[in-house]
Chain A
Amino acid sequence: MTVQAADNAVVPVEKTGNLQFLRFAESIAIPVGAIIASALLFAVFLLLIGKDPIQFYALVWTGGFGSSFSIQNSLQRAAPLILTGLAFAIPARIGLTMIGGEGALVLGGFASAAIAIPLVSGGVPPLVTLPVMAATGIITGGLWVGFTGWLKYARGVNETIASLLMSYIAIAIMNFFVEGALRDPASANKPSTMPIGDAYRIGSIPGTDVHWGLAAGIVLAIVLWVLMSRTTFGFAARMTGGNLRAARAQGLPVGWLMVICCMIAGGCAGLAGFFEVAVIHGQANASLVAGYGFTGILVAFLARQNPIAVIPVAILFGALAAAGGVIQRRMDMPDATILVLQGMLFVVLLVSDTLYGRFKIFQVKATGDRT
């Protein structure tokens, strides 16, 4: 190397700490601002239909966090949202907009309920059956979304549309079996698979009403955060997501990276499906199609695809869902009101995404001459 330091080479004093702090502050301030803005917008909507916004938000608080019961209710509902949030966030880091979490959840849940049938009837103990069910859910969801990722990589199929359509196929597959070959004859009004039985249901975290899915979601979120930010795999995935051309030019196996990220995503959603079956429903039926996969997209968006941030955001959405019932009873508003609020939040969030870098207070001052 013979690059001599020329006399005019002034490498400016580092403002590293400052810079990182400002970027962090920006990444908090903008989503929080978006939440406040959409809350105000929704207040206008409430005024227009003649409801009291203050009462509404007070009820959201009471219903979501007001008592230990409501907090547990919120956490309960947050559990699948953490997992489906991760199912959107991980492919997003590699540049894929995968919205197939719903399908992977449904199919994963169905597969785990289906594999439980012979195990339960064969008398295999729960300690063996449940891990097998969980693994089946994870693998089924992983292969399902992984296949969409492969379509993208090998055939250039638009992953967003493909993953959405694959979700409907997944739901149809479940219905096909639930209403046909695997139908429990006792489920007259609501076709379902055979119940796994109370002995095989997963209980709550001791001392709470919150099930183990929450713990699994939190652990998985932390593990995936470490994977994406501290390992060579995560680095390569972020390179690919940030600039596909540059990643190719560095010789990275971008196709495999994409497929693996999609499999991780599908595995998360499939695990959520397993918990829905093993904790909530005890069998697979149309109740699995509860929209958790789609709300997860919103969660991941608000969390800016950061696996750790998915946790608090999922709890916030869990609280909103928990408050839905209270609002319905006390304000005589339809349950779907919460969906309107979520929709507004989503639109405001998309708009707020264009605001990064626009606020002067989050920018370090330019260091003079920039030739």
Chain B
Amino acid sequence: MNDVPAAKGHAPSLQAIGMTKVFGPLRALDDVSINVDAGSFHALLGENGAGKSTLVKCIMGFYSGDKGQVLLDGQEVSIRSPRDARANGIGMVYQHFTLVPSLTAAENLVISRADAPDIIDWGKETRALAAFMDTMPFRVPLNAQVSSLSAGEKQKLEILKLLYLDQRFMILDEPTSVLTPGEADEMLGLLGGMAARKEITVLMISHKFREVKAFCDHFTVLRRGRFTGSGDAKTVSVADMSAMMIGDTPIRERSGRVQSAGGRDVLELAGVFADDNDGASVVKSVNLKVKAGEIVGIAGVSGNGQSALVEVLSGQRPLADGGIFIRGERFEPNRGAYDKFKVFGLPEEPLKNATVPKMSVAENIAFRSFDKPPVAKLGWWMSPGPMKAKARDLIARYRVKTQGPDAPIETLSGGNVQRAVLARELSGDVDVLIVANPCFGLDFASVSEIRSQIMEQRNKGAAVLLVSEDLDEILELSDRVAVMSGGTINYVSKIEDTDRNTIGQHMAGH
């Protein structure tokens, strides 16, 4: 153990020049160049599918680029595998943690070393780690098991791991998506400080303009695999950045919020409890009412019981205790009740939760109607004719791009899968709408369209429950906001009486 990295290693600069990567007919990267100065905190912006991850994967050696070169401190380096990247001091923090949950923080650090010995002298390693931690601007309890750490601590540990391995060019892939706003700001502030002291160079993939404006100094924008702009993050306006990101893609006008006179309560959750797959209670006594013509947003950091709550409401998880009522009547999530109460849903990751990937687009669109006339005759005999006719109509109305109604829905892109689900769920009368992270991973145009569809349902009088990990989405759409933390709702407020900070504090459980 003679190579504990010195904390004062220098921050490298990195240039990627003319990067090109072709996958079959798709040019995922087309002659993209990016220039990250030593000690800068550089944002890489772009929509889903713009080529951001392809670019960083080329830099990290997961893909070998078809063309282009990477220069580190002005010297060309050849990176053929993540091992080469690591040897050159380039490290990456992924959107999802890559720590081993059952090991302690110290164990995670030591095993991450490429040269970890076969027999580890833990006494010596612990002393070396303690010495290393003393030089760091932030700490993580070394002897705590990783599974007991909060998301913010895990993220810090990921970053410490890179520093421990002396990887001073850090690529961060949407690092704040699992953090509370407070945790995110703290972490980005620390990284910004280290970059300013020229201890590290950071390249951060982000969707969030607020963070880019607050913490980054430079940015580069990609669109459809091409470089579309770069500049000083402090001086270029958000409007200009987003113009570079979306180009001339027409964005549907948002549906405005129509003042509603305050309808009566439609959906009521009364003391709802639910357990996770191991029997531990993850939803604890949730009480909430949603009125007709109202969107209630449930904010919260991922993993605080929101997904279990949505699963209960959509029949994917049994109710452990409590009740769900619609217009005062008990609601059991089965087919009859869905039709009777006109309950519809837009779940997150629609390919996983709302469709059967191998079935056709037409069949997927028929999920609500396959057992009713005109598709079903006598209640059991299905005629494909009316099913396809309806699918063709909805495909056109909702602009679903598909090879045809008979194409398996898994061949569609994410935005088009969600449009097909919207077509199925929203084309009739909707009284209750359960929505969970509806725009996760979708491009701008689709996001805008899907949000206005949700608003439109509200304006038509539906009671909408919106569960989202995207606070901006909640702030944009909700009439009232509720915050979920530790499986229970600890804060409810009208949207006009609250702000991002207050919500953020409750998300952190305060």
Contacts and interface: CB of A to CB of B under 8 A. Distances in A.
Interface of A: 1-3, 5-12, 14-16, 19-20, 230-233, 235-236, 238-239, 242-243, 245-253, 364-367, 370-371
Contact of A5 (B334, B359, B399): B399
A249 B398 contact: no
Given A2-B456, A232-B380, A239 B356 contact: yes
Contacts of A235: 363, 370-371, 382
Nearest to A7: B250
B400 interface: yes
B404 A245 contact: no
A19 B356 contact: no
B355 A246 contact: yes
B234 interface: no
A232 B382 contact: yes
Contacts of B315: 248-249, 251
A48 B453 CA distance: 67
A247 B367 CA distance: 9
Contacts of B443: 371
Contacts of B330: none
Given A232-B371, A245-B316, A252-B335, A367 B401 contact: yes
Interface in B333-386: 333-338, 345, 347, 352-359, 363, 367-368, 370-371, 376, 379-382
B354 A249 contact: yes
Nearest to A226: B381
Contacts of B502: none
24 contacts: A3-B397, A5-B397, A9-B399, A10-B401, A11-B396, A12-B404, A14-B405, A16-B405, A16-B406, A231-B381, A232-B379, A232-B382, A235-B363, A235-B371, A239-B359, A245-B352, A246-B367, A248-B316, A251-B333, A253-B335, A366-B25, A370-B401, A371-B443, A371-B445
A305 to B, nearest CB: 12
A15 B397 contact: no
Of A9, A14, A246, A248, the most chain B CB neighbours within 10 A belong to A246
Given A246-B354, A251-B334, A11 B371 contact: no
Nearest to A10: B401
Contact of B356 (A20, A243, A366): A243
Contacts of A8: 250
Given A230-B381, A235-B370, A371-B443, A251 B338 contact: yes
B404 A251 contact: no
Interface residues of chain B: helix, strand, loop or mixed (majority)? loop
A246 B352 CA distance: 7
A2 B368 CA distance: 21
Contacts, number: 123
B413 A370 contact: yes
Contacts of A20: 406
A198 to B, nearest CB: 43
A364 B456 CA distance: 36
Contacts of A249: 314-316, 345, 347, 353-354
Given A11-B400, A232-B379, A239-B359, A246 B25 contact: no
Contacts of A10: 401
Contacts of B379: 232
B452 to A, nearest CB: 9
A11 B376 CA distance: 27
A232 B376 contact: yes
B403 A367 contact: yes
A253 B357 CA distance: 20
Given A242-B359, A250-B335, A251-B315, A6 B380 contact: no
A230 B453 CA distance: 34
A6 B250 contact: yes
B49 interface: yes
Contacts of B401: 10-12, 367, 370
B288 interface: no
A151 B299 CA distance: 38
A236 B368 CA distance: 11
Contacts of A247: 356
Given A239-B356, A367-B403, A371-B415, A231 B252 contact: no
A251 B382 contact: no
B269 interface: no
B407 interface: yes
A214 to B, nearest CB: 28
Contacts of B404: 12, 14-16, 19
A151 B464 CA distance: 37
B89 to A, nearest CB: 36
A14 B367 contact: no
A251 B403 contact: no
B498 to A, nearest CB: 31
Given A11-B399, A11-B401, A371-B445, A250 B357 contact: no
Interface in B433-461: 443, 445-446, 453, 456
A161 B445 CA distance: 48
A232 B397 CA distance: 26
